[in-house]
Amino acid sequence: MTTLHNPLISGFHPDPSVVAVDGAYYLATSTFEYLPGIPIHRSTDFETWELIGHVATRAGQLAVEEVPTAGGAWAPTIRHRDGVFHLVVTDAMGRGMLHFTATDAAGPWSDGDLILKADETASLDGIDPDIAWDAAGTAYLTFSGLILGGEQAGQHLGIQQVRVDLRRHVALEEPRSLWSGTGGGFPEAPHLYEVDGRWYLMIAEGGTERGHGVSIARGESPEGPFETAPHNPLVTARGTTRPIQNTGHGDLVIGPDGQWLCVLLGVRPRSMTRAFSALGRETFVTPVRWESDGWPAIDPVQLNPRAGARIDVGFAADRELDGEWIAVRALPGAHADLAARPGWLTLRADGSTLDDPRPVFVGRRQKHLTNAVTVTMDVTSGVGGLAVRYDERFHVEVEAGAGEVVGRAVIGGLVQDWRAPFGGGILDLHLESRPPAPTRGFPRTSDVIHLAATIDGRRVELGEVDGRFLSSETTESFTGRVIGVYAVDGEVAVQRWIADGHDE
């Protein structure tokens, strides 16, 4: 029997889509303004997952360099047909709706073809595209009709569909409206499945926050008409005390033991009212049962975190950065120089700071609720540090150079810092996410972020920050915490990265 871990993929990994191919499972998630874009995880048992590559690894595949915060790669769908992997996604506020292909899910993937309207004037308007084929080979693109640009920006047209020519990447008709749920806000994330001769249209509705849920309808054709399941929503955590909230945006697959499964997003909020989700939206999984009336039923999502982990990363000139490293609106290689100083990762400032949309910053997702990161940094020739980032308006860092060490919290334009003198070059910087200290009442935060430095063998505590200020609810972010190293002046070098985390 398969052991289902939850989170299935921890840390900032929202909007999961999964496909089974020859005994293996391939899972894709959203990346928004980060690169490389759209990670692909692989598993043969649905328990152990390996990051095997990304879809967007080259300049131009995703036009995220200038997208606003929360733009970029939204909600991929991954499918496989006739030996080819297909992935459709919206590059929101960037290139538009795109179709990528690869013969190996690890890559390389194609440059991405823009899917045009029937008049071939522009990309289809919409997000969260799904791709499906009927028995005759007709390709259907089903999507959420949110208009992202022009005078109608923000208008939502419900779930829509077109037949599409994937050779020319052109819609063969004007979009038609499909079943758009039971009345919940923001119908999105449609997926079409043919099961036992019927077509099922599964969507998310209720918004991607606490009202999120999964609903389903069925019909005799991929075009409908669709009848609503009598027990919608199939899964939701709204109005419950479950430890995993915001459950929705699901995709179905048959698991390794023949059990149907639903991968979906969710959050793990903490605090007195479970109001703050430090890590943002993660990937979860839950069993699916098919009832005698032909409708699926989805079990509530159960928390089952993996054991804690220690990550010890060194650097070498002859070894590329592993795939867990990401950067903001740029590939990590645009900032990280591994050759200049063997055994070190060198960053060179370019005039930007963490307050800018494109900082000199490379990082890794925070994957555990309790987490400690230490880096050894040489700031002899510059100023830089270690930061946890949600976006350019919400970040917390410990920074060294120019004669001092600074702990700093930037929260929506409000800034607080703590300073200590430092006249040397090499030191250890620490950024730790700890549970709040016990109190007589209930904790009113998700965690506490501690900032410190070790100078000549002595640890200097700089300050602490209420973790709820760096949660998805406070920042109103689609991403999650990313912890990384950065440079703001001159040149800094990092010798070692150590992260210890657990979810107790």
Measured in degrees and rounded to the nearest 5, phi and psi for residue 112 equal 95, 120
Retrieve residue 94's tokens.
């960037």
Residue pLDDT tens, the chain, 504 long: 789 999 999 999 999 999 999 999 999 999 999 999 999 999 999 999 999 999 999 999 999 999 999 999 999 999 999 999 999 999 999 999 999 999 999 999 999 999 999 999 999 999 999 999 999 999 999 999 998 888 888 899 999 999 999 999 999 999 999 999 999 999 999 999 999 999 999 999 999 999 999 999 999 999 999 999 999 999 999 999 999 999 999 999 999 999 999 999 999 999 999 999 999 999 999 999 999 999 999 999 999 999 999 999 999 999 999 999 999 999 999 999 999 999 999 999 999 999 999 999 999 999 999 999 999 999 999 999 999 999 999 999 999 999 999 999 999 999 999 999 999 999 999 999 999 988 778 888 999 999 999 999 999 999 999 999 999 999 999 999 999 999 999 999 999 999 999 998
Retrieve residue 452's tokens.
């410190």
Report, in angstroms and rounded to the nearest whole number, the Rg of the chain calculated over CA atoms.
23
Any alpha helices (H) in 75-192, and if so which ranges?
Answer: none
> With b meaning 16 or more CB within 10 Å and e meaning fewer, what string describes 384-400?
bbbbbbbbbebbbbbbb
Q: Is 89 exposed, middle or buried (0-12, 13-18, 19+ CB in 10 A)?
A: buried
Q: Please report the pLDDT score of residue 445 as a whole number.
A: 93
Q: Please report the pLDDT score of residue 150 as a whole number.
A: 82
Retrieve residue 484's tokens.
């990384």
The sign of the torsion formed by the CA atoms of 104, 105, 107, 113 equals: positive
Which residues fall within 8 angstroms of residue 332, CB to CB, at 6 or more apart? 35, 36, 321, 325, 326, 362
Whole-number Cα distances in Å, 23 to 17, 41, 147, 258, 279? 17, 14, 38, 11, 31
Residue carrying structure tokens 């991405």:
112
Q: What is the DSSP letter of 338?
A: S
Question: What number of residues does the chain have?
Answer: 504
Task: Give the C-alpha separation, 463 to 418, whole Å.
Answer: 6
Q: Please report the pLDDT score of residue 263 as a whole number.
A: 98
Which residues fall within 8 angstroms of residue 387, CB to CB, at 6 or more apart? 354, 361, 363, 395, 396, 397, 398, 431, 483, 484, 485, 486
Which SS3 state, helix, strand or coil, does residue 83 take? coil
CA atoms within 13 A of residue 480's CA, in its CB half-sphere: 28
- Cα maximum dimension of the chain: 73
* Bond prior to 14 in cis (omega within 30° of 0): no
- Please check whether residue 308 is in contact with residue 368, taking contact to mean a CB–CB distance below 8 angstroms: yes
Measured in degrees and rounded to the nearest 5, phi and psi for residue 469 equal -75, -15
Task: Give the C-alpha separation, 94 to 242, whole Å.
Answer: 36
> With b meaning 16 or more CB within 10 Å and e meaning fewer, what string describes 232-260?
bbbbbbbeeebbbbbbbbbbbbebbeeeb
What percent helix, strand, coil does the chain show, rounded to 5? 0, 50, 45
- Domains of the chain plus CATH, in order, are 17-231 (2.115.10.20), 309-502 (2.60.120.200)
Retrieve residue 411's tokens.
């929260």
Q: Please report the pLDDT score of residue 442 as a whole number.
A: 84
Whole-number Cα distances in Å, 82 to 79, 98, 102, 197, 495? 11, 20, 11, 21, 46
Q: What is the DSSP letter of 106?
A: T
User: pTM of the full predicted structure?
Assistant: 0.97
Which residues fall within 8 angstroms of residue 455, CB to CB, at 6 or more apart? 405, 422, 424, 427
* Bond prior to 175 in cis (omega within 30° of 0): no
Q: Is 421 exposed, middle or buried (0-12, 13-18, 19+ CB in 10 A)?
A: exposed
